[in-house]
Structure 1
Amino acid sequence: MSTTRIVLVLGSSAGGVGVHIAGLAREFAERGHRVGVIGPAETDALFRFSSIPGVKFAAVPIPAHLSLKETAAVSAVRALVAGFHADVVHAHGFRAGLLSALAIRRMRRSRRPRLVSTWHNAILSTGARRRLERGVARLIARSADVVLGASTDLVDLARELGAEHAAFAPAAAPTPTFGEDVNYSLARRRLLSELGLSPDAILVLTVGRVARQKDLGTLLDAAALWRQTHPRIHSIVAGGADAKVLEPLEARVRAERLPVRFLGQRQDVAALNIAADMVVLTSTWEARALVIQEAMLTGKAVIATAVGGLPELIGDAGILVPAGDAEAVADAVRALADDPVRRSELGRQAAIRALDFPDEAHVADVIEEFYASRPASPGNPGNPKESTTP
């Protein structure tokens, strides 16, 4: 692919989407492309886009709520795209996709870049809000040259809403980073000491932002069930938080004395994965969650809800449970706590499956194909491994 002027656009992000975009920006710049990133200033503080060699960052306060009336943000995006002489605008998420679609449609046809929109999340709201969000998604689907879904259910949604060309595109599996040489014994000893727990404790790790989508109320319900028969099991939750969601959860933990700790944002997630006995995710929806990929790369037994892209990610290398089913979560946790051999075997299967996860270079190869050419037909995504090229 010849040198291309690429603009990546994102809204607020504190997790996997920002990591994914930073990886793309780095790969594209290393390949000699001209790369710009547009997003809120706080995303640059988190993911350091402006420090990536060959990447330019422009701060635009992309609003937190979807609206067709964000004229200031639309004008800012349009001016930046035009000034950069972009060949491709790649918008990540519905908010960035909406602003990019509105910005590009107001440009002269001869100067319009190709629009690629990646959808990272499902539409989970209800009522009037859901109708608005579906309307926005429909506008994006019909405006973009290509819609990419982070899981195959999102590809199906894009087609349902009118996308002419939609396909699955993977996010890179994050490489575990420790900052120093950390082995299981050392990582576990440090964490148990920090938490004030005994050496025979069973640690159940959840990683992710404390938000409604993560359904941590179900995790607390499960903890209330397993503590009755398995007092050695302790749940730890690592990640930033929506205060309105976190405060009632913490209040419940205190009132019921549940074996759950909220650790806040952590920079040592890889070490936490090593120290934990298993990883649990109770989300109502996920694409192909990077936190689960991290756990599998570390060789941990995984228990997760059978939603979104998680079943196709985990396959038979973990335990899938229905969303919102605290008894199923508690039963799975207790079963693995009682059976270290099965726990170890699931971890081994997870690590083997993770060998096939795409890295940043592979993901960039896939995305470049979508930048360079229009798919001949939407096709059928089928197995994501067989659907990463047009």
Structure 2
Amino acid sequence: MRIVDVCALYAPQGGGVKTYVERKLAAGAAAGHEIVILAPSENGGVVEAQGGGRIVMMPARRFPLDRRYSYFDDEASLHAMLDRLRPDMVEASSPWASASMVARWRGDAPRALIMHADPLSAYAYRWFGPVLSRRAIDRGFDWFWRHLRRLDAQFDLVVSASDSLSDRLREGSLNRVATLPMGVEPGHFHPRHRNEALRARLLARCGLGPDATLLLGVGRHAPEKRWPMVIEAAASAGYHSPIGLVLVGDGRDRARVVRAADNNPHIQLLAPITRRDTLAELLASADALVHGCEAETYCMVAAEARASGLPVIVPDQGGASDQARDGGFRYEATQADSMAQAIRDFIALREEARAAAAAAAPAVRTMDAHFDELFATYAGLQAMRRIAA
């Protein structure tokens, strides 16, 4: 198959979607498929992937709220590119305007909408959740639910990476939803990468000895990630037992994160880590991963932590919640006091939780398993099209 992914959320600087795209290119080539990624970019160009497949950067405008990203703004050019490529399968990887553009394309290839983003959780529920119920917010954003239902009718498949998102989409009357969890890159993350010397050095940077608990957070500094809440929860739990918190990342919300840390010696902010081996060692060497975002569609970093044998402390909503198995701990989303209690619960069972997570690590789903299932699903759609014809 030639599979064309209209990937509005791709950024060369990195992120979960970039990791997913790069592995898809490799998995597609290994399975005998040709993968073409169409990504919006301030500059055009083609990036050939090792082993097969390519990323075609289509000229587009920069997204004003996050300059790392661009967005498709020329429907005619996108349709012309799809006409030239003659795909056997088309994906739209964002539920926004680009998905509507793909829906309006006149080609006859089957189409799948990949829910790499959950705008209602990332924005509407976060903005209005403190004063309104989700039912009331959904009524206020019924225009967006109508948009999703139109896409559901125009696409052959809506792919969700977590049960929690799939359930909400079905509750919103989408009928073509399938849950295909993503998985982690194989060969990178494993409990054997644990480095006690690294753990001791990180705790020392936090002004603590090796008997303290080392919590790790990894991700962009963005409002929906709720790092100030994570910091507040860790500081509160730290009154009961010594805790060091290391946050890895950067972004437009960095100033708020720095203010929340408030020169606390037990909190260290580190720059983003791009090397997978370095990240794998760091994940395996902490005591638990802490995560504040209830708007994840899958939560790649929590899956990577689980594959590293690291217990996770995550909110009880969104894709991160699905990762709280095999030694994981959930807390009430958006609530710092509930998170602090979950941290204390983890510390009380720290060694048992770590042992359970390490034992379960080999069973964590890989991206290759995800793509095997995805490609098989696409082949089924094509077969149904042929029968219908």
How high is the TM-score relative to the length of structure 1? 0.79
Q: Does 1:12 align with 2:9?
A: yes
Q: Does 1:121 align with 2:117?
A: yes
1:247-301 CA deviation, whole Å, 9 max, x = no partner?
A: 122123226x363222131132212112212211122232331111111111122
CA contact (8 A) 2:117 2:297 kept: yes
The separation in 2 between residues aligned to 1:44 and 1:50, in whole angstroms, is 13
Q: 1:74 to 1:350 in 2, by over 3 A?
A: farther
The separation in 2 between residues aligned to 1:208 and 1:87, in whole angstroms, is 35
CA contact (8 A) 1:176 1:294 kept: no
1:286-325 to 2 correspondences below 5 Å = 286-315=296-325, 317-325=327-335
Q: Which of residues 256, 260, 270 in structure 2 aligns to 1:252?
A: 260
Calculate the aligned-residue CA RMSD, in Å: 3.4
Q: 1:44 to 1:51 in 2, by over 3 A?
A: farther
Q: Which of residues 47, 54, 63 in structure 2 aligns to 1:56?
A: 54
Q: 1:174 to 1:193 in 2, by over 3 A?
A: farther
1:356 is matched with 363
Q: Which of residues 267, 279, 293 in structure 2 aligns to 1:283?
A: 293
CA contact (8 A) 1:150 1:287 kept: yes
Q: Which of residues 319, 326, 338 in structure 1 aligns to 2:336?
A: 326
Q: Which of residues 207, 214, 234 in structure 1 aligns to 2:218?
A: 207
Q: In structure 2, the residue corresponding to 1:116 is in which secondary structure?
A: strand
Q: In structure 2, the residue corresponding to 1:351 is in which secondary structure?
A: helix
- Return 5+ residue gaps in structure 1 as ranges: 378-390
The separation in 2 between residues aligned to 1:63 and 1:151, in whole angstroms, is 29
Q: Number of residues paired by the alignment?
A: 356
Shift of 1:18: 2.3
Q: In structure 1, the residue corresponding to 2:32 is in which secondary structure?
A: coil
How high is the TM-score relative to the length of structure 2? 0.80
The letter of the residue matching 2:331 is V
CA contact (8 A) 1:175 1:294 kept: no
2:182 is matched with 171
Q: 1:258 to 1:284 in 2, by over 3 A?
A: farther
Q: 1:219 to 1:315 in 2, by over 3 A?
A: same
1:21 is matched with 21
1:388 is matched with none
Q: 1:93 to 1:44 in 2, by over 3 A?
A: farther
Shift of 1:169: 0.8
CA contact (8 A) 1:10 1:92 kept: yes
The separation in 2 between residues aligned to 1:44 and 1:326, in whole angstroms, is 44
Q: 1:103 to 1:284 in 2, by over 3 A?
A: closer
The separation in 1 between residues aligned to 2:228 and 2:265, in whole angstroms, is 12
Identity within the alignment, % = 24
CA contact (8 A) 1:146 1:163 kept: no
1:373 is matched with 380
The separation in 1 between residues aligned to 2:375 and 2:313, in whole angstroms, is 34
